[in-house]
A and B are shown apart, each in its own frame.
Chain A
Amino acid sequence: MSRALAAILIAMLLGPIAWMLAASVLPENQIFSGAPIQGLLHASFDHYRALFDERGFLLPIRNSLIVAGLTTIIALPCATLCAYALARLPMRGKGLFLALLLAVSMFPQISVVAPLFLVLRATGLIDTYPGLVLPYVTFTMPLAVWLLTGFFRQLPRDLEDAALIDGASRLRVIRDVVLPVAAPGLASTAILMFLYCWNEFLFALSFTFGPEHQTVPVAIALFRGRYQIAWGEVLAGAAVATLPVVIVVLAFQRRIVAGLTSGAMKG
């Protein structure tokens, strides 16, 4: 693939983000004027300052990180084990199980919100971290299981079979043989889950009451006044909000690479 094509692609992906960053340092009335370049002469970090001084933006970032992190930490192992069982182990009714699981995740959030609110309220989980983590885990699990099942099925059985014949127990096989090779799939799924929580708006808006537990999308939604959107702060908030994600993703990069090399050496 030519370098030029690669550069174009990356530019397309990053273009709007660059625009966003540029606009976030413009004074408010320049943002819609169609000429951000000229406006950059008046650039300032006012919006960023307002973000932290007036809006206390660190709080929603912290909440998003906690909720997304907890969801991923809880859901990924459960989904991985379940997917492995569906891919490799004998079980009755696999098809039905997968279908039911899929049905759950296909259910539109919008209709689930009101009854789920009632359930969470009855269990006293409204405006708590578990109150968000539980729905998130429930709704990311099916897709994760589906994805990982397909992924496990695709892995060649030779390595596992060889280890099993050698006398290793199933659990050891999973830990030492399967997981390292499955690392790319696991990392992809983890990123998927993390970003689902990061982006999710409807549940976060409905199940939290105050800044103590509200996540980034909700906080940004609160920047909208009755008629006005505090554009400068929304853009600055978006810029700041992507930073933790970039760091997390960079961390996962190493996982993918590490998983591959260790798998290659074992194989």
Chain B
Amino acid sequence: MRWRIALACLMCTVLAACSGGAHGRHLSFSGSALGQEGALIRTQLARFAAQHPGVDISVRITPDAANQRHQLYVQWLNAHVPEPDVLQLDIVWTAEFAAAGWIRPLAIDTTDFFPAAAQANRWRGVLYAVPWFVDAGLLYWRTDLFADAPASIDALRADATRAQRERGVANGLVWSGARYEGVVTVFIEYLAAFGGRIFDDDGAIVVDSPQAVRALTFMRDSLGEQGFVPVSALSWQEEQVRFAFQNGQSAFMRNWPYAWALLQDPQRSRVANHIAIAPMPPAAGGRPSAALGGAQLAINRYTREPELAASLVEFLTAPVQMLERARIASQLPARRSLYDGPDLGRALPMPIADVRRALDATVARPVTPVYSEMSEILQVHLHRALTSQEEPSTALHGAAREIRALLDRSGLRGAAS
């Protein structure tokens, strides 16, 4: 009996050695691999492997909760681990990882990508990641309550208030106001709507400009009894916001594109077939805006297969794969040209023209390695203003002061874009 086992072991070892020789090259991909996205990415990776004989690709699942994925990446890259070779990054991580020297510069042509998205992936002029799919903050509105999207911030306020007071809808507008990255994305839309910015063209901090104060004051005044946004929104993240709108409890919602498909499901949603989207409307002196988000692909600096990894990145961001992603996972492609043809309209369940309008109006968050700290400063001060612990001007001046100190400490003054 024992010799049988020994023979089996020997055969296994020989087989393993053989397969090791024939399939010598290995790539590892890390990103969202749950549910539909998981099946999709595996299909696409298998397609790539078929085009590159001798290459075998594996998926390393990381939690989708952004801070957990971020923590894992930090640990791995800090330890100079060669895998995963290709990483899915949030849009605000690129500058940070690039400055830390953890991802490789890329020589990929980005003319077809949305300029704002490509720009957000450049650090000191060099491209470090490629936009994979984009997200834009959208204003969802109820077509059964309104004929048109509001054309201005004031119209938004009027419509939302009217819906709440006269049409019996519980809330006018809902957005994700919990103290996390989400509230910053909401804020930058209001900021752009009122003509404000976080940095001006010279890299100076202008988050406490009069326009910014007006934007934050508007946000604060829209909360509570006198306004049209529920106070509980200050502890909501995207899902609670979606549920409120989905259950018919709000006339407007500000959320990301992922919600569309769920809202259109008549089994679960009370507002199915009664929704439309638009960018956040402008106030006087501002512009329509949509916070820019999405995922990017980057290459691990310590990878053992740099050219192969680059090929994989190019493959995954090719129009064919992007269209497939739109069709199966309802994620918006990062290539502008795809929005011109008819294929995307058939693939995506969302109205393409409105999506295009929003994507053309995107406003990016500051591209800097210290973004997460900067965001924390903003989050804390925004929350203080929104919960009326501080006046908006005090809060923003405080934020500006702390951001300046942060940039000084980091040797980055004047280097942020």
Contacts and interface: CB of A to CB of B under 8 A. Distances in A.
B258 A226 contact: yes
B61 A210 contact: yes
B268 A205 contact: no
A225 B242 CA distance: 14
B268 A29 contact: yes
A222 B63 contact: yes
Contacts of B256: 227
A206 B81 CA distance: 13
Interface string A184-214: 0000000000000000000001100111000
Interface string B30-45: 0010110000000000
Contacts of B66: 226
B64 to A, nearest CB: 5
Interface stretch (B49-57, B72-80, B198-206, B356-364): B72-80
Nearest to A29: B268
A32 interface: yes
Contact of A32 (B64, B78, B243): B243
A14 interface: no
A43 interface: no
Given A121-B81, A205-B68, A227-B258, A222 B75 contact: no
Contacts of B68: 205, 221
A114 B75 contact: yes
Contacts of A210: 60-61
Interface in B227-259: 237-240, 242-243, 246-247, 256, 258
Contacts of B5: none
Contacts, number: 57
Contacts of A211: 61
A117 interface: yes
Interface residues of A, number: 23
Contacts of A224: 63-65
Contacts of A117: 75, 79
B72 A228 contact: no
A205 B63 contact: yes
B239 A228 contact: yes
B243 A29 contact: yes
A113 interface: yes
A229 interface: yes
A222 B239 contact: no
B239 A229 contact: yes
B61 A222 contact: yes
A118 interface: yes
A205 B258 CA distance: 27
Contacts of A28: 268
A261 B72 CA distance: 50
A128 to B, nearest CB: 15
B75 A225 contact: no
A121 B79 contact: yes
A51 to B, nearest CB: 13
Contacts of B81: 121
Nearest to B83: A209
Contacts of A225: 32, 34-35, 64
A184 to B, nearest CB: 39
A85 B368 CA distance: 57
Interface in B7-40: 32, 34-35
Contacts of B247: 33
Contacts of A118: 78-79
Contacts of A205: 63, 68, 71-72
23 contacts: A28-B268, A32-B240, A32-B243, A113-B75, A117-B75, A117-B79, A118-B78, A121-B79, A205-B68, A205-B72, A206-B75, A210-B61, A221-B63, A221-B68, A222-B34, A222-B64, A225-B64, A226-B64, A226-B66, A226-B258, A227-B239, A227-B242, A227-B258
Given A118-B79, A205-B71, A227-B258, 13 more contacts: A32-B243, A113-B75, A114-B78, A117-B79, A118-B78, A206-B72, A221-B65, A222-B64, A224-B65, A226-B65, A227-B238, A228-B238, A229-B239
- What are the 8 closest A-B residue pairs judged by CB atoms, nearest first? A227-B238, A226-B64, A225-B64, A224-B65, A29-B268, A117-B75, A221-B63, A118-B79
